[in-house]
Chains A and B, each alone.
Chain A
Amino acid sequence: MVSSLGQDKVNGKIESMKWFKNNTAELMLGLGLTIFLINFFTTQGKNEYFVSIPLVVLGSLVLYKRHFIPVKIPQQIANENSFFNNLDEDGEDDLYEDAKEAVLEGGKASTSYIQRRLRVGYSRAVRLMDMLEDKGVIGPADGSKPREVIKEK
């Protein structure tokens, strides 16, 4: 969205916070190793490393969690965002029949109508419209004219 100056400042702060959040593990690991190495070379290994150990351990744990433990995504978001999650074995969207039913019942065929009736996002509504067109349920897009509903209920 087009931002005002104030909005840019807010966005800048949010970006900085995101950067720190995303790089906390690397920062902890780097700081821990630096402290360890400085201690090691300046005291020939005689000093205690109690400051660096927690940082290295914590940093390593966060990195391990990030890279090896899968993140759980809420099902609704996963369904909406993944192209393949909504497709059955025949490559058909699992809401195809509902979309067909809605279009035949309402006699209307548009992405907005599909969004309204099936509560899906724009991308999925476009995909359902393409499938309906491929299967001859609706006619092709023709500029600003409404799509023709070919099949009857």
Chain B
Amino acid sequence: MNIYLDIDGTLIHEDLTERLGKPATGLPEFLKAIQHHNLFWLTTHCRAGDPARPIEILKRVTDESLHPIIESIKGTVWDTAKTQGIDWSQDFIWFDNEISDFELNKFADARQDQQVIEVNIRTNPNHLLEIVSDVLLEL
């Protein structure tokens, strides 16, 4: 399955507290759980298809053992809406903390296995761990 990943507010904290820039709890477990899927970035750090910047950001806050997984994440090309970067001919899950109404509306006609999961590590710091046990292990 294709898995699309945002970074800020999804894998790394972006709230203006002492957690700013720190990896979310359960990030290593999350990365290990998705490693055998087709991974893509869907972040403002990668709009033109070059995954170098998001890879660099995530490698900074993760253990070296996880770097091969991070380096396997491919870039996407999109402009105004992240849904433009998604391959709609395939099943996928897109993890993001902020989905616009316009993007959400694109899912009205989506297939059952084309999903977006809204991640909220701000109010639910263990959200990635929850996703690993309740979503990713079922894939």
Contact = CB atoms under 8 A, between A and B. Distances in A.
Interface string A94-128: 00000000000010101111011001011000000
Contacts of A111: 120, 124, 127, 130
Contacts of A146: 130, 133-134
A34 B113 CA distance: 57
B127 to A, nearest CB: 7
A153 B23 CA distance: 38
A8 B124 CA distance: 28
B117 A112 contact: yes
Nearest to A75: B108
A74 B135 contact: no
Interface stretch (A18-26, A47-55, A62-70, A76-84): A76-84
Bin the interface of chain B by size: 20 to 34
A1 interface: yes
A115 B118 contact: yes
Interface string B1-26: 00000101100001000000000010
Bin the interface of chain A by size: 20 to 34
B99 interface: yes
A124 to B, nearest CB: 10
Interface in B41-97: 43-45, 93
Contact of B44 (A1, A113, A119): A1
B122 to A, nearest CB: 10
Interface of A: 1-4, 7, 74, 76-77, 80-81, 106, 108, 110-113, 115-116, 119, 121-122, 143-144, 146
Per CB-CB distance, the 7 closest pairs between chain A and chain B, nearest first, are: A113-B134, A122-B118, A1-B8, A144-B126, A110-B130, A112-B131, A110-B134
Contact of B14 (A1, A76, A121): A1
A122 B122 CA distance: 12
A1 B12 CA distance: 10
Contacts of B108: 74, 76
B35 interface: no
A74 B133 contact: no
Nearest to A145: B126
